[in-house]
Chains A and B, each alone.
Chain A
Amino acid sequence: MNAIPGRIAPAPLLSVEGLTKWYGHVLGCRDVAFDLRPGEVLGIVGESGSGKTTLLNCISGKLTPTSGEVRFDTRRFGLTDIYGLSEPDRRRMQREEWGFVHQNPRDGLRMRVSGGANVAEPLMNLGSRHYGNMRQATIDWLDRVELDTRRIDDKPRNFSGGMQQRIQVARNLIHGPRLVFMDEPTGGLDVSVQARLLDLLRELVRDLGLAVIIVTHDMAVARLMADRLMVMKGGEVVETGLTDQVLDDPQHPYTQLLVSSVLQI
């Protein structure tokens, strides 16, 4: 390798190698490998059933892969295979350093407790025991995701879908994670709400210098959010590259189909 003198490439935050998941004899995803550096936004696109969510679940520690490694630069253990950690260590690492924004806010929020408590929960999970401080942090974050702070004690069901998604975003960012997974974060929203949420996400990600892995089937979302794209089909990665490069000059026939199928108005 030719190292450029005076310049050190940042160590990867997340390094995936040979990741394969079989559901019995059905393929989830095969031989996926990539590195993610701090502050980088990686988009995973592909049609439904292409293995996007399987891949995301494997990377985020929810689904044990059949083979392959997922190494994450943990604060306590350095770059280490997350499936090699003991369960309590892995759960702790997930709580402390990751966030996960679900497509359906009902999966990511506790619907029985107020929006404010939902946002504050990660702080309590990390050992915060001062109500006043947590309350203030919650209000700050609700403000940051452009929600009415007077509605802090309303239950999630009393918020609209877009607002619920904002609560979920606040809940997943309040504890200062280094890596956030997003599974179709704008999936169930109408177009105008989608646009505003995307705008907000983009701003937050840039301001916080977050690394994000975002799964989507929406090329517009990918274009707006992602620095780099991975195109999946039938469980395999068929094309990777910078977002603009992949979308403007697709090489693989499937990617060409995907890009050309976007509705132009």
Chain B
Amino acid sequence: MSTPVPARANAPERYYNYAYLDEQTKRMIRRSILKALAIPGYQVPFGSREMPVPYGWGTGGIQLTAAIIGPDDVYKCIDQGADDTTNAVSIRRFFANVADVATTEDTGEATIIQTRHRIPEKPLKQGQVLVYQVPQPEPLRGLEARETETRAMHAYEEYGLQYVSLYENISAYGRIAATAGYPVMVEERYLMSPSPIPKFDNPKMAQNEAVMLFGAGREKRIYAVPPFTRVRSLDFEDYPFETQTWEETCALCGAEDSYLDEVILDDAGDKMFVCSDSHHCAERRAAGHVGPMAGHTLDQDAALKEPAQ
């Protein structure tokens, strides 16, 4: 005998099924997720649905989240590492609205983190799920336009072609200059695009405790990296894989080991570097870390008196 489900507080204005998608769609997506987890790095086709945002705004990630989210989850959404950008705020509000979940900016307390272009600085823990929004799931697409051919290449592990792009990089720039969407091998079997995260974040994918799910809405593909999986960034013997480094520290929190964004301050060429992970930066500042420009308030009058040359 089942107990009656108590009516939700917002029952009258609920137009949508729980978490927006209907149950059959969520079931279909969950099956694709299970297959993706069973074959790490393999791109599983799925019946991507129209979502209330345009392609390119995270439709794949939103569908993944919708399929796995429950009322007990705590949801965090970041865009380029920041919790407070328009896209992140909209998607967070969307799930607060349609899935009745608590939302947070705290990486540590979130159970589902949807991300575009970054992996949070704080190491993820077992039990957390990181959902990536992926524009182009096929790492070989730029070099081979035929889907039939790229599928065969994955099936037969013919990945020499990917090295052509690295070769081009070195011959043009003297080093592997690719910075985002840097291709990785998953469990030494499938070549995978890590979505356009900076290569700075690539090493974080290896042996990660969290479940990592990737969704491409327009391209209708789901792939995954289960916890504790080997993930290796491609490189040459004489040009090993390297991540970005900065000579500067975060201007606000003084962090030396986080991924920094360059912010142009005026027309005179002044700039600052700040953590791209806004929660990481805020947490450090709250803990008393101070960067070179912290506490500095903009003196608007002075700026007006002395316009930039």
Interface residues of A (CB under 8 A from B): 87-88, 91-92, 95, 110, 112-114, 116-117, 120-121, 124-127, 129-132, 134-135, 152-153
Could you write out 26 A-B pairs with CB less than 8 Å apart? A87-B152, A91-B152, A91-B158, A92-B156, A95-B158, A110-B164, A113-B168, A114-B172, A116-B167, A116-B171, A117-B171, A121-B160, A121-B164, A124-B164, A124-B167, A125-B158, A125-B161, A129-B236, A129-B237, A130-B236, A130-B238, A131-B170, A131-B236, A134-B167, A153-B171, A153-B172
A126 and B160 alpha carbons, distance in the complex (Å): 7
In the complex, what's the smallest C-beta–C-beta distance from A110 to chain B, in angstroms? 7
Chain A residue at minimum C-beta to C-beta distance from B142: A112
Q: How many residues of B contact A (CB 8 A)?
A: 20
* Cross-chain contact B160 with A127 (CB below 8 angstroms): yes
Is B171 within 8 A of A124, CB to CB?
no
The reply on B246 being an interface residue by CB < 8 A is: no
Report if A130-B237 is in contact (Cβ < 8 Å); known contacts: A87-B156, A110-B164, A124-B161. Answer: yes
Q: How far is the CA of A130 from the CA of B167 in the complex (A)?
A: 10
Q: Decide: A131 and B164 in contact? CB cutoff 8 A.
A: no
Closest B residue to A152 by beta carbon equals: B171
Which of A87, A112, A153 counts the most chain B CB atoms within 10 A? A112
Cβ–Cβ contact B152 & A117, under 8 A: no
Partner of B168, one of A87, A92, A114, A132: A114
| B55 at interface, CB cutoff 8 A | no
Residues of B within 8 Å of A92, CB to CB, are 156
Which residues of the partner chain A approach B163 to less than 8 Å between Cβ atoms? 124, 129
Give the residue name and chain of the A residue nearest to B170 (CB).
Answer: A131
For A153, the chain B residues whose CB sits under 8 A away are 171-172
B168 and A117 contacting across the interface, CB-CB below 8 Å: yes
B228 within 8 A of A: no
Q: Does B143 contact A (CB under 8 A)?
A: yes
In the complex, the answer to whether B171 meets A114 with C-beta atoms within 8 Å is yes
Q: Which residues of B contact A125 (CB under 8 A)?
A: 158, 160-161
Distance of A112 Cα from B236 Cα, bound (Å): 21
Chain B's nearest CB lies how many Å from the CB of A176? 16
Residues on A with C-beta less than 8 A from B16 are none
Interface of A is mostly: helix
Chain A proximity mask over B219-257: 1 for CB below 8 Å, otherwise 0: 000000000000000001111000000000000000000
Give which listed residue, B156, B236, B237, B239, contacts A88 with CB less than 8 A.
B156
Q: Which residues of A contact B168 (CB under 8 A)?
A: 113-114, 117
B238 touches A121 (CB 8 A): no
Shortest beta-carbon distance, B190 to chain A, in Å? 15
Measured CA separation A99–B160 after assembly (Å): 16
Interface string of B149-165 (1 = CB under 8 A from A): 00010011010110111
B164 lies within 8 A of A113 (CB): yes
Q: Is the CB of A112 within 8 A of B160?
A: no
**Chain A residues, Cβ within 8 Å of B238:** 130-132
Cα distance A116–B161 when bound, in Å? 14
Chain A contacts of B171 at CB under 8 A? Answer: 114, 116-117, 135, 152-153
Using A113-B143, A130-B236, A131-B238 as known contacts, say yes or no to A121 and B158 having CB atoms under 8 A apart. no
Establish whether residues A110 and B143, one from each chain, have CB atoms under 8 Å apart when the complex forms: yes
Shortest B162–chain A CB gap in Å is: 8
B165: chain A residues within 8 A (beta carbon): 113
* A116: B residues at CB distance < 8 A: 167, 171
The 5 closest A-B pairs by CB, nearest first: A125-B160, A88-B156, A124-B160, A124-B163, A131-B236
Let me know if B156 and A120 touch, CB within 8 A: no
Inside 8 A of B158's CB, which chain A residues have their CB? 91, 95, 125
Smallest beta-carbon distance A106→chain B, Å = 13
A91-B148 Cα distance, complex, nearest whole Å? 14
Residues of A contacting B170 with CB < 8 Å?
131
